[in-house]
Chains A and B, each alone.
Chain A
């Protein structure tokens, strides 16, 4: 888990959280998620210091999150800034709006990218949200 960390990235924390969510969901749920999403996302995140880090969310084969480029090839690459990813994960920004305003760029299957929203929010709702 600790191997997901990259210093100076908010994304790093979110990804770690995401990973712990994926690890703790039951196999049944994992299979469902994979069936529903069926894609490999590669995130190319750059921060304010112009550093770039790459993570991969595999929701096609293994249902895991790891650091570095996708193996095998990603179905879609998302190129965005650390800040934008944090906002997306917090639900402050919607993926479509981010895309239309040029904050988010994609390579590959764009339709798949729209599923990342749901993935992030479901992970958020699943883990660590207090209830009213």
Chain B
């Protein structure tokens, strides 16, 4: 144990190490070596890192100093450490690499441990290892751990240690790149004991920093010393030869293992990482369900008692997802009392009525009812999908996301069957985004891109990534595809507003609201009269913590389309974020009034946000009244003095 500190010191200043004397002795005493090689070295090695602390190191050094004080100085045996250098060095590289990766996680640790074991088992290969191999191996992880655990920033200040890294790094060129601050410190630490050895152990714990400065200064002589290593290499070979018979087999084995390790231990490539993360998430989720200490009997009973209607709500609020991340939604449910359907005596087309109503700024709820009637009558418009998609978009504009999404899913399905694959997908992707189904949104955007720009190549890997990889990776890949397309278009001097919208939505999902804003703005430069775009610009600003600017964009949208319920809702949200709670409540109330205008259903989301506004106003009584299950009369709030 007492030698270890010094041996680790040899890493940095090989020839100066006093242990060279010991090696001299061991050259004469072979029998001892054979013993060690055969057995105990690997057995002892299984002490894993973390056992030796800085404290122990210092004590060891002191003891070692005593031990060596009597012996004469000599340098010829030093180089025997030249061979082992390979091992620790690459190990350091690996450690450095592992550290420099952001997540030093359990997996990495497990590998690390494994690596240690393997490396330890194979250390027996060279002559030097006979006496000191075990010591070196064991002490190596020690200082490293120490730095890992309690990083001492004062050691970082000596950049000259980099040069040491360069010197030793030559055996493994990657070394320099992989090493981060940690491994520099690591090497720095090695410089210290060697300095002690040479300085005849005058060092005390308090002098550490001074020693570092000294050590830094000593690197120039160290250069000269390396040349000596070459000269005396013969002696190493002698020792090696002497032991070759016992080790020939093990050595080749070592090389094998080593090659294997080098190949397998490179940090896993990016796609593996993302796949791993996705799997990990999956595992966590599945575990989470087990974790609920789910009592099936009790749950069944509860479900039974609470009645089927609540169960239905459960399903709608927590949809299942298919393998592409698309939520599995129930079919579109038509409004039960549709006044247009009842007065169906006329022969006019509901679809064209709805279109003209939308063109003339009519009520969105009315238009949606007309479209429903048209669909129920079988008047589906172009390709059998037009009415569905129009219905979906109308519902979304009317702040009825759930219904709109289902209508769009139906429309997209029909459009695909009719050979117009691109239609409606962008709207559907936006709808998914609003409901926080990010994966579904990515999938849909990718499908839209494929349908709309068949010439644009989408890497196979990207298509697969949507299925298996973690959300952030999918986002990066899909964004990449869209950016490539946008750049290609830009170089041709064209600007496709739809591509810009797609990009904007992608940035929006990733909370990059500034970039989303830019995309929507450039789309608006082509389509300045698109109120949907103005609203999208507004919500990017609003969610990007700029509600005041957002209000300007919403105003544009509402100028173009006064009955745009979603924009009114968004204005309310912006008011809420500014702190104008009363105004917010008034906007929500007017949006609700518009939805109720023909006894239609209202949106739970609107009621919910209205309640939030009331609570923020310190009016819990109103919040209580504003529960949709209470079927409140909107006149009640007008009486409370809300002007809308």
Q: Determine whether the beta carbon of B623 is less than 8 Å from that of A24.
A: yes
Q: Determine whether the beta carbon of A32 is less than 8 Å from that of B576.
A: no
CA distance A96 to B277 in the complex (A): 10
Scan residues 37-84 of chain A and give those whose CB is less than 8 A from a CB of chain B: 38
Which residues of chain B are within 8 angstroms of A132 by Cβ–Cβ distance? 430, 433-434, 505, 508, 535-536, 539
Residue among A20, A24, A26, A100 having the largest count of chain B Cβ atoms under 10 Å:
A24
Interface residue? A21 (CB, 8 A)? yes
Interface residue? A91 (CB, 8 A)? yes
Q: Interface residue tally of chain B, by bracket? A: 35 or more
Q: Determine whether the beta carbon of B105 is less than 8 Å from that of A100.
A: yes
- A128 in contact with B573 given A20-B616, A115-B288 (CB within 8 Å): yes
Name 29 interchain pairs, CB-CB below 8 A, sorted by A.
Answer: A1-B615, A1-B618, A21-B612, A23-B615, A23-B620, A24-B611, A24-B623, A25-B608, A26-B608, A32-B314, A38-B292, A96-B280, A96-B281, A97-B103, A100-B105, A112-B291, A114-B284, A127-B612, A128-B576, A128-B609, A128-B612, A129-B573, A130-B543, A130-B570, A131-B566, A132-B434, A132-B505, A132-B535, A132-B539
CA distance A29 to B576 in the complex (A): 22
Q: Determine whether the beta carbon of A101 is less than 8 Å from that of B609.
A: no
Closest Cβ of chain A to B447, distance in Å, is: 18
Which residues of chain A are within 8 angstroms of B435 by Cβ–Cβ distance? 125
Interface residue? B492 (CB, 8 A)? no
Mark interface residues in B588-608 (1 if CB within 8 Å of A CB, else 0).
000000000000000000001
Choose one: B505, B573, B615; the contact of A130 (CB below 8 Å): B573
Mark interface residues in B505-534 (1 if CB within 8 Å of A CB, else 0).
100100100000000000000000000000
Mark interface residues in B397-439 (1 if CB within 8 Å of A CB, else 0).
0010100000000000000000000000000001001111000
Which residues of chain B are within 8 angstroms of A131 by Cβ–Cβ distance? 399, 401, 434, 539, 566, 569-570
Q: Which 7 A-B pairs have the closest CB atoms?
A: A130-B539, A24-B611, A130-B542, A24-B612, A130-B570, A131-B434, A100-B103
> Interface size of A by Cβ–Cβ distance < 8 Å?
31
Choose one: A24, A91, A121; the contact of B608 (CB below 8 Å): A24
CB-based nearest A residue for B103 = A100
Which residues of chain A are within 8 angstroms of B401 by Cβ–Cβ distance? 131
12 further A-B contacts with Cβ under 8 Å, apart from A131-B539, A132-B539, are: A1-B618, A20-B616, A23-B623, A26-B627, A111-B288, A130-B539, A130-B542, A130-B570, A130-B574, A131-B401, A132-B433, A132-B508
Scan residues 82-112 of chain A and give those whose CB is less than 8 A from a CB of chain B: 90-92, 96-97, 100-101, 111-112
Interface residue? A28 (CB, 8 A)? yes
- A111 in contact with B570 given A24-B608, A127-B612 (CB within 8 Å): no
Which residues of chain A are within 8 angstroms of B550 by Cβ–Cβ distance? 130
Scan residues 3-34 of chain A and give those whose CB is less than 8 A from a CB of chain B: 20-21, 23-26, 28-29, 32
Q: Determine whether the beta carbon of B310 is less than 8 Å from that of A28.
A: yes
CA distance A29 to B611 in the complex (A): 14
Interface residue? B538 (CB, 8 A)? yes
Choose one: A24, A91, A125, A130; the contact of B511 (CB below 8 Å): A91
Closest Cβ of chain B to A111, distance in Å, is: 5
Which residues of chain A are within 8 angstroms of B609 by Cβ–Cβ distance? 127-128
CB-based nearest A residue for B629 = A26
Closest Cβ of chain A to B172, distance in Å, is: 28
Q: Determine whether the beta carbon of B436 is less than 8 Å from that of A121.
A: yes
Q: Determine whether the beta carbon of A24 is less than 8 Å from that of B434.
A: no
CA distance A39 to B116 in the complex (A): 40
Q: Determine whether the beta carbon of B615 is less than 8 Å from that of A20.
A: yes
Closest Cβ of chain A to B440, distance in Å, is: 14
CB-based nearest A residue for B434 = A131
Interface residue? B317 (CB, 8 A)? yes
CA distance A20 to B608 in the complex (A): 11
